[in-house]
Amino acid sequence: MSEQHRSRIMERLRTGVPPTAPVESDFSVISEKQWPLSERLLRLRQRLESVNGRVHECGRDAWVAELQKLLAGRKLKALMYAPGTEVGDELDESWDRSDSALPALLPALEPDTDIRERVFQAEAAVTGTLGGIADTGSLMLWPTAKEPRLMSLAPPLHIALLDADRIYNTFWEAINQQRWAEDMPTNALLISGPSKTADIEQQLSYGVHGPRELIVLIRS
Amino acid sequence: MSQADFRGAASVAVGDVQLRGNFRRAMDGLMEKRAAQFTDADEEGRLRALGESIRSRSLARLPELLEKLEASCKRNGIQVHWAETTADANQTVMDILKNRGARTLVKGKSMVSEEMELNHFLEAEGIEALESDLGEYIIQLAGEMPSHIVMPVIHRNTGQIAELMEQKIEGAPYTEDADELCQIARKVLREKFYRADAGVSGVNFAVAETGTLCLVENEGNGRMSTTAPRTHIAVMGIEKVVEHLQDVPPLLSLLTRSATGQHITTYFNMISSPRRPGEVDGPEEVHLVLLDNGRSRIVSDPELKATLRCIRCGACMNHCPVYTRVGGHAYQAVIPGPIGKILTPQLQGLDERGDLPFGSTLCNACVEVCPVKIPIVELLLRLRAEANSPTGDSSVKGSGAKRDKTEALLWSGWQRMHASGKLYNSLSRVLAKTGNLAPGFMPPLSGWTATRTKPRFASQTLHQLARKRGVPDE
Ligand code: SF4
Q: Does residue B19 fall inside a structural domain?
A: yes
CA A130 to chain CA centroid, nearest Å: 8
What is the Cα–Cα distance from A69 to A202, expressed in whole angstroms? 35
Question: B358 and B269, same structural domain?
Answer: no
Distance in Å, alpha carbon of B15 to nearest chain A alpha carbon: 21
Q: B220–A120: do the CB atoms touch at under 8 Å?
A: no
Q: Which of B402, B421, B454 finishes a domain?
A: B402
Question: B420 and B286, same structural domain?
Answer: no
Q: What is the pLDDT along chain A (220 residues), one digit of tens a residue?
A: 689 999 999 999 999 887 778 889 999 999 999 999 999 999 999 999 999 999 999 999 999 999 999 999 899 999 999 999 999 999 999 999 999 999 999 999 988 788 888 999 999 999 999 999 999 999 999 999 999 999 999 999 999 999 999 999 999 999 999 999 999 999 999 999 999 999 999 899 999 999 999 999 999 9
Residues of A in contact with B134 (CB under 8 A): 197, 199-200, 208
Q: Which residue of A has its CA nearest to B53?
A: A25
Chain A interface includes B47 (CB < 8 A): yes
> Which atom of ligand 1 is closest in space to residue B259's alpha carbon?
8
At B394 the pLDDT is 83
Q: Answer whether B320 contacts ligand 1 (Cβ < 6 A).
A: no
**Mean residue pLDDT across chain B:** 94
Task: Judge whether residue B2 has pLDDT over 80.
Answer: no
Q: What is the mean pLDDT of residues B191-217?
A: 96
Q: Does residue A24 fall inside a structural domain?
A: no
Number of domains making up chain A:
1
At B473 the pLDDT is 66
CATH code of the domain in which B327 resides: 1.10.1060
Number of domains making up chain B:
3
Residue type at position B236? M
C-alpha distance from residue B20 to each of A203, B13, B326, B345 (Å): 18, 8, 7, 25
Q: Does residue A16 fall inside a structural domain?
A: no
Question: B427 and B387, same structural domain?
Answer: no
Question: B327 and B398, same structural domain?
Answer: yes
Structural domain boundaries, residue A110: 35-219
What is the Cα–Cα distance from A130 to B425, expressed in whole angstroms? 79
Question: B149 and B239, same structural domain?
Answer: yes
A73: Cβ contacts below 8 Å, ≥ 6 apart: A101
Q: B282–A149: do the CB atoms touch at under 8 Å?
A: yes
Q: Does residue A192 fall inside a structural domain?
A: yes
Query: By percentage, how much of chain B surpasses pLDDT 90?
Result: 82
DSSP state of A157: E
Task: Judge whether residue B474 has pLDDT over 70.
Answer: no
Q: Does residue B360 fall inside a structural domain?
A: yes
Q: B62–A184: do the CB atoms touch at under 8 Å?
A: no
CATH code of the domain in which A163 resides: 3.40.50.10420
More confident site: B366 or B440: B366
Residues of B in contact with A181 (CB under 8 A): 209-210, 244-246
Q: Is B431 exposed, middle or buried (0-12, 13-18, 19+ CB in 10 A)?
A: middle
Q: What is the pLDDT of residues B101-117, one digit of tens each?
A: 999 999 999 999 999 99
Question: B250 and B136, same structural domain?
Answer: yes
HEC readout, chain B: CCCCCHHHHHHHHHCCHHHHHHHHHHHHHHHHHHHHHCCCHHHHHHHHHHHHHHHHHHHHCHHHHHHHHHHHHHHHCCEEEEECCHHHHHHHHHHHHHHHCCCEEEECCCHHHHHHCHHHHHHHCCCEEEECCHHHHHHHHHCCCCCCCCCCCCCCCHHHHHHHHHHHCCCCCCCCCHHHHHHHHHHHHHHHHHHCCEEEECCCEEECCCCEEEEEECCCHHHHHHHCCCEEEEEEEHHHEECCHHHHHHHHHHHHHHHHCCCCCCEEEEECCCCCCCCCCCCCEEEEEEECCCHHHHCCCCCHHHHHHCCCCCHHHHCCHHHHHHCCHHHCCCCCHHHHHHHHHHHHCHHHHCCHHHCCCCCCHHHHHCCCCCCHHHHHHHHHHHHCCCCCCCCCCCCCCCCCHHHHHHHHHHHHHHHCHHHHHHHHHHHHHHHHHCCCCCCCCHHHHCCCCCCCCCCCCHHHHHHHCCCCCC
Structural domain boundaries, residue B430: 405-468
Task: Judge whether residue B1 has pLDDT over 50.
Answer: no
Task: Judge whether residue B145 has pLDDT over 80.
Answer: yes
Element (H, E) at A10: helix A2-16
